Amino acid sequence: MTKIIKKYTYLFVSFFKASLMAELEFRFNIAARIVTDIVWYIAQLSVFEVLFRHTENLSGWTLPETRVFMGLLFVTDSIFMMLFSENLDRMGEKVRRGELDLLLVKPVNSQWMMSFQKVSVAYIGNFLISSAWLAWSLSQIESFKPINTLWLLLTVPIGLSIVYAIRFLTSATALFFTRADAINYIWYQVYRLGTRPDTIFPQILRYMILTVMPIAFLASVPAQIILGKSGPQLLVLGGTLSILLVYASSRFWKYGLKSYSSASS
Amino acid sequence: MINIETENLTRTYETYRKPEGLLKSIQGLWARKVEQKVAVHPTTLSIAKGEIVGLVGSNGAGKTTLLKLLSGLIHPSGGSAKVLGYAPTSRDPEFLKRISILLGQKNQLWWDLPPADSYDLLARIYEINPIEARSRVRELAELLQCSEQLHVQLRRLSLGERMKMEIIGALLHQPEVLFLDEPTIGLDIIAQTTIREFLATYVKERKPTLILTSHYMDDISLLADRLLLISQGSIVYDGSVEEFVAKAENRQTLSLKLLNPPTTDVSIAGHFQLEAGTRNIKVELAANVIGDVLQALMSLSPVQEIKIEEVEFEDVIHSFMQQDARMRASSSAPAARV
Amino acid sequence: MLGCARLAALQQLEYRFNLLADTMIQPFVVGLVEITLWMAFFASSGQAELAGFGREYYLSYALWAAFISRVSTSWMYESLMIQDIELGTVNSVLVRPISFFEYYLGQLMGYKVLTTAISLMAPITLCLFLDLPVSLSRLPLALALTFYYLILVHVISMIIASLGFFFTRIHHLTVAKNITLWMLTGEFFPLDIAPEPFKSILTALPFSSAVFRPVGYLTERLPVSTIYEGFLSVTIGLLVLGPVAALLWNAGRRRYSGTGA
């Protein structure tokens, strides 16, 4: 068991170094990526900043609390993007080109390879910026207890696993459908649901994003826990769901590989 | 010791006919015609350890599909295969460490990295000692005459250099079973020769079990002991290269010059027609009729520059393919048997 | 160029599941998500009106904004254009008698016409079902502005794609550009509820013709003059960015190293 952990850790570190070397080549791209995300942050924040000019309260959230929510969203998002965006977004392309083959003949877990092959090192910049925002927005809340940040050690991995699993499941449909750009777009919409505090949504939808498509664990649930708006019980649900979903992604992948037929000859 | 064996291994694809035109395309939204295409007919094979097999066939004949079935990349629709005692589709890591597949122009190495870095990654994947891996790389690169390019990013290398790097990557973990799909395709003559000679040296030293597909008969004739001819998903010949050439109607090429060309069309010993005014003759004939033809020609006119050559292996294959295609087109009879 | 439009339509019909998701499912989902935000706003703010318009109005706006913004965004063809240049397959386009610009403009329009026609059903149905304010007779003019705006979008795509001659792997610019446009077009909220000076700047820019003007007009928030102003500002945008695109493209072609196939 330790041998396996060692191997995959070594591999991950190698991938990280290789990705770093490869990415440093494209300095323009790194800058572009940071700028892109800053623009995205501003876009997301602007909606709430404008809305809160016309109201004090939005489904139980105040502006300072919403800023914390956004901070958590940005931080988790930057980690997710760093680890998985390149790999999962390009999966459809790789499958279509038949590049999956070269991965399947290697003595490594193909799902792991597909998911971790490339690390988007540029997002470290975003991680730093978003962490700064999170720290600042937390400091603006008088009732906030710094010890609550420890919850992040649980909420972030749970949120990441859930988002990873959902994203992987959508990307893996490329094994069945030759082109699935639209499924990707649907994924973005599901993700979008996670970019709003869950209390905004009508009851049915709220239930869904806490169970069936538990995107609420991306930022909404962690924000509630860290702000003391709700107790940590939801984390039990989150933890269970994350394990189930990752397992489901693995089964789906194996099932998909069976029906996979390589492109062209 | 048998390394590769299959029993009634077969693979079928489902594909649909694309409709022509805008109207039919809209119809295609809900009604599509599905067609079954057999890529590989039930095939039973046995390949021993250390054998070098040349797999030859025209495009779409099923060569690559067969390789993919044997390497576990695609699941068979029927029958079974065993490579090194494993079912390829099990994708057992121990199995994967002992095989290697090189697919024509597809890159397994990382595009933005120098090959040397890719090899470090591969070494980790295959659990090879990194120092040992580097020395293997050095050795292979020297033989392939590409040591200087090891630290240049892959995307900056020419096609030939990339191919050499891919080969090193494929051989790094010293696989016992090697599948090479068109390793020299699209390369210039020099690169082809270098790779060919390298492979010849490599197989002599390491003795892997190798299945090689190629359009270049030089690859096959230089490297392969055994020849598998595949046509429309079926193996139509399985034997040694020499046997094939011998069996396929011992033919020779006769070339000569007539000093006095004929003034009218004339038939030569009933074997071919000679047009009026033809001075240079080059014709392919069965070996046993060359004597008659030569006599007939010499009675027409004095001859010069006589040359009798063995027919190229390549030409034999081509004429076989043509014959096979003709037979298939004319009837749904089984493919030409050699 | 019509041939290119037809080609695009054919290609899309090929991948029928994708087409379905792209034209039907996606707008529905987006519309619903945005609607919930506005519902929540009106539920918790205790207000009945915002900037003179009631709750139903904003729901309608959110729905139509989601749909119209899909029409006026180009990511797929822009990505294809970038990819062409990146991989060097642009060679095959460059040797054809039709220009790169026209080739992709034709494809873009063909695709947009097809997908717009199909996904039109989504917001119309939802508006009727939820009894939301919309003036369908205004739809043709609103769409006309949107399609005219698409030409500007395509010019911007050309600029970005041309940068591909100078820098490798610029796909992130597409994303950055689209997200920026997101904010500028009025997709998230009607631009006139933004505080000054943002409100004036944003409405003056041609990007307001992507969503805010057509949807504002369609939902009877804005008078017909907004459409004329939109045509004007987009034209100005074309006059400014058009030459930039041409310059960049030509400079890029000169620099072109022809990597790849």
Q: What is the mean pLDDT of residues A229-244?
A: 90
Q: Which two tokens stand for residue B40?
A: 């590989």
CA-to-CA dists, residue C170 to A31, B124, C66, C176, angstroms: 11, 31, 27, 10
Give the residue on C whose Cα is nearest the Cα of A192: C33
**pLDDT at residue B313, rounded to an integer:** 65
Q: What is the pLDDT of residues C42-60, one digit of tens each?
A: 888 777 788 778 888 888 8
Q: How far is CA B236 from CA B36, B107, B175, B210, C194, in A?
A: 22, 31, 29, 20, 76
Say what the pLDDT of residue B335 is. Answer: 43
- CA–chain centroid gap for B144, Å, is 21
Q: Exposed, middle or buried, B332 (CB in 10 Å: 0-12/13-18/19+)?
A: exposed
Contacts of B203 (CB under 8 A, 6+ apart): B52, B210, B223
C10 touches chain B (CB under 8 A): yes
SS3 category, B83? strand
Mutate to test the interface with A, among C25, C42, C44 (most CBs of A within 10 A): C44
To which residue do tokens 């702000």 refer?
Answer: A227
Q: Which of B110, B47, B55 is nearest to B81 (CA)?
A: B47
pLDDT of A151 > 60? The answer is yes
Least confident piece of the model among A13-22, B103-112, B187-196, C188-197? B103-112
Q: How many CA atoms lie within 13 A of A50 on its CB side?
A: 24
CA distance B26 to chain C (A): 7
Q: Check: CB of residue B251 under 8 Å from CB of residue B306.
A: no
Give contacts of A19 with chain B, Cβ < 8 Å: none
Judging by DSSP bridges, how do beta strands B209-213 and B52-56 pair with one another? parallel
Residue A186 Cα, gap to closest chain C Cα (Å): 6
For B282, phi then psi, to 5°, come to -140, 115
Q: Which residues of B touch A15 (CB under 8 A)?
A: 121
Determine the Cα–Cα distance for residues C63 and C36; give it in Å rounded to an integer: 10
Supply the mean pLDDT for chain C: 81
Residue A263 forms contact with B (CB below 8 Å): no
| Chain A environment of B101 (Cβ under 8 Å) | 101, 105
Task: List, as ranges, residues 94-133 from B with C-beta within 8 Å of A.
Answer: 94, 96-97, 99-101, 103, 106-108, 110, 112-113, 117, 120-121, 124-127
CA distance C70 to C72: 6
Task: Give the residue from chain B lying closest to C20, CA to CA.
Answer: B29
What is the model's pLDDT at position C157?
87
3-state DSSP percent of chain B in helix, strand and coil, to 5: 40, 30, 30
Question: What are the CB-based long-range contacts (under 8 Å, 24+) for A251-259?
Answer: A252/A169, A252/A172, A253/A110, A253/A111, A253/A168, A253/A172, A253/A175, A256/A172, A256/A173, A256/A175, A256/A176, A257/A104, A257/A110, A257/A175, A258/B75, A259/A175, A259/A176
CA pair distance B199, B161, nearest whole angstrom:
15
CA distance C14 to chain B (A): 7
Instruction: Give B335's DSSP letter.
Output: P
How many angstroms separate the CA atoms of C219 and C186, rounded? 14
d(CA A204, CA C200): 39
DSSP string covering C165-221: TTSS--HHHHHHHHHHHHHHHTSSS-GGGSPTTHHHHHHHSGGGGTTHHHHHHHTTS
Tokens in use for B241?
A: 């290269």
Contact (CB, 8 A) for C106 and C11: no
In chain B, residues 276-335 whose CB comes closer than 8 Å to chain A: none
Q: Report the C-alpha dihedral over residues C52, C56, C60, C65, rounded to 10 degrees.
A: 50
How far is B292 from A180, CA to CA, in rounded Å? 68
**H helix intervals, chain A:** 2-25, 27-51, 63-80, 86-89, 91-96, 100-104, 110-116, 123-139, 152-171, 181-193, 203-208, 220-226, 233-259
d(CA C141, CA C69): 16
What is the model's pLDDT at position C260? 43
Nearest CB neighbour to A28, from listed C25, C167, C175 = C167
Rounded Cα distance, B205 and B222, in Å: 15
Cβ B22–C14 below 8 Å, yes or no? Answer: no
C17 touches chain B (CB under 8 A): no
User: Which SS3 state, helix, strand or coil, does residue B123 take?
Assistant: helix
DSSP A263: S
DSSP assignment of A67-119? HHHHHHHHHHHHHHIIIIIHHHHTHHHHHHTTTHHHHHTSSS-HHHHHHHS--
Q: Is A258 on the interface with B (CB under 8 A)?
A: yes
Residue B329: phi and psi, rounded to 5, are: -70, -40
A18 vs B: CB within 8 A: yes
Task: Dump pLDDT digits (tens) for C12-46.
Answer: 555 566 666 667 777 777 777 788 888 888 888 77
Residue found by looking up tokens 């097999």 in the block: B53
Q: Which residues of C touch B25 (CB under 8 A)?
A: 9-10, 13-14
What is the structure's pLDDT at B338? Answer: 36
Per DSSP bridges, beta strands B34-48 and B2-16 are: antiparallel
pTM over 0.90: no
| Torsion-angle region of B327 (φ positive above 0: left; ψ -120 to 50: alpha; else: beta) | alpha
Which subunits sit against C, judged by 3+ Cβ pairs under 8 A?
A: A, B
| Cross-chain residue pair B110–A22, CB shorter than 8 Å | yes
Residue in the block written with tokens 């394990």: A243
Select from C83, C172, C174 the residue whose CB has the most chain A CBs within 10 Å, as the one to mutate to test that interface: C172
The reply to whether residue A54 touches residue C182, judged by beta carbons under 8 angstroms, is no
Q: Does A108 touch chain B (CB under 8 A)?
A: yes
| Closest residue to A107, CB basis, from B97, B106, B107 | B97
Q: What is the DSSP string of B293-321?
A: HHHHHHHHS-EEEEEEEEPPHHHHHHHHH
Higher pLDDT, A236 or B250: A236
CA dist list (Å): B48 to A44, B177, B225, C224: 64, 11, 12, 82
Contacts of B110 (CB under 8 A, 6+ apart): A18, A22, B117, B118, B121, B154
Yes or no, beta carbons of C169 and A43 under 8 Å apart: no
Cβ-based neighbour number of residue C197 at 10 Å: 8
CA B171/CA B102 separation, integer angstroms = 10
B29 touches chain C (CB under 8 A): yes
- Contact list in C for residue A193 (CB cut-off 8 A) is 33
Interface contact flag, A262 B73, Cβ < 8 Å: yes
What pLDDT is recorded for position B246? 67
How far is residue B100's CA from residue B173's CA, in Å, rounded to a whole number? 8
Predicted confidence (pLDDT) per residue in A91-128, tens digit? 888 887 777 888 888 998 889 999 998 888 888 888 99
Element (H, E) at B100: strand B99-103
C179/A43 CB distance under 8 A: yes
Q: Which of C26, C43, C183 sits opposite A189 (nearest CB)?
A: C26
Among B319, B287, B328, B65, residue whose Cα is nearest residue B217: B319
Sort out which chain A residues have CB atoms less than 8 A from C41's CB and list them.
51, 54-55, 58
Per-residue pLDDT of chain B (338 residues; tens, 9 = 90+): 888 888 888 888 777 666 666 666 666 656 667 777 888 888 899 999 989 999 988 777 788 889 988 988 888 888 899 999 999 888 888 999 999 999 877 778 887 778 998 898 899 889 999 899 999 999 999 999 999 999 988 888 888 899 999 999 999 999 999 999 988 888 888 888 899 899 999 988 999 999 999 877 778 888 888 989 888 888 888 888 877 766 655 678 888 898 888 888 888 888 888 888 888 888 888 777 888 888 888 888 888 888 888 776 667 777 777 776 676 666 444 444 33
Do B124 and A105 make contact, defined as CB atoms within 8 angstroms?
A: no
CA distance C28 to B116: 50
Question: CA nearest C85: which of C156, C170, C177, C176?
Answer: C170
Tens-digit pLDDT profile for residues C130-187: 788 888 888 889 999 999 999 999 899 888 888 888 876 677 777 778 888 878 888 8
Asked whether the beta carbons of residue B25 and residue C10 sit closer than 8 angstroms, the reply is: yes
Q: How far apart are CA A252 and CA A232, in angstroms?
A: 30
ipTM score for this prediction: 0.76
Contact by Cβ (8 Å): A14, A118: no
- Enumerate residues 6+ apart whose C-beta is below 8 A from A81: A37, A120, A123, A126
Residue C39 dihedral angles phi and psi, to the nearest 5°: -60, -45
CA atoms in the 13 A half-sphere facing the CB of B234? 10
The verdict on a CB contact (< 8 Å) between B64 and A265 is yes
- Residues in Cβ contact with C84 at an 8 Å cutoff, skipping those fewer than 6 apart: C90, C93, C161
